[in-house]
Amino acid sequence: MQEILREMTDMSNQLNSKEVNIYIDNLSQRLSLKKPSEIEIIGLGAGRMGYSLRSFIMRLSHMGFNASMIGDTNVPRVTKDSIIFVNSSSGETPTILLFTQQASSMSPGIFSTTCNIESSIGLLSDFCITMPPISSEQLMKSPYEQFSMLLYDYIVIKLMGSLNLDPLKVSANHSILE
């Protein structure tokens, strides 16, 4: 367990804080332009990277935003006002790349996290956080999946503050059917 925690700390220490601040500042600005229920948010991610993003999409929903994940039955049509989140460690996941290409032709609000800002998805993104490379004994891309989950939780904390959201009201939006 300590090795995994050390890897997360190493990645956090290598994170480009300027990239993160630009991402969060622009996201906060976009989210404050309209009432939360009027903002369409769509998450694009596959596999475990998709699950990490799904947890973030769920928190945005708790915060009052109309947020859904690709594959959900309630995914809205992408418009010029949509905010698209993409989570792909390679930045080249074929299905997610296709969805990102389609969305980028309609929405100027693509926020991505990837290990390669020069990837196809990175280049299509308006705002991108580059996850630092790491050598790990964990299976496949586990460190990036874990780190993206932590990164999204950090973004939630920053959004709660910048949007002046009441934690009690946000908590009241949590499902009681668990």
Global pTM? 0.91
The per-residue pLDDT for range 48-106, each reduced to its tens digit, is 999 999 999 999 998 888 999 998 888 888 888 889 999 998 999 999 999 999 999 88
Higher pLDDT, 72 or 173: 72
Answer yes or no: are the C-beta atoms of 113 and 145 closer than 8 Å: no
Answer yes or no: are the C-beta atoms of 96 and 88 closer than 8 Å: yes
Confidence at residue 28, expressed as pLDDT on a 0 to 100 scale: 94
Distance CA 141, CA 138 (A): 8
Q: Which burial class, exposed, middle or buried, applies to 53 when counting CB atoms under 10 A from its CB (0-12, 13-18, 19+)?
A: buried
Q: What is the mean pLDDT of the chain?
A: 89
Distance CA 101, CA 52 (A): 21
Helices (H) and strands (E) in the chain, counts: 7, 5
What domains are there in the chain, each with its CATH number? Answer: 2-164 (3.40.50.10490)
Confidence at residue 11, expressed as pLDDT on a 0 to 100 scale: 92
Assign 115 to helix, strand or coil.
coil
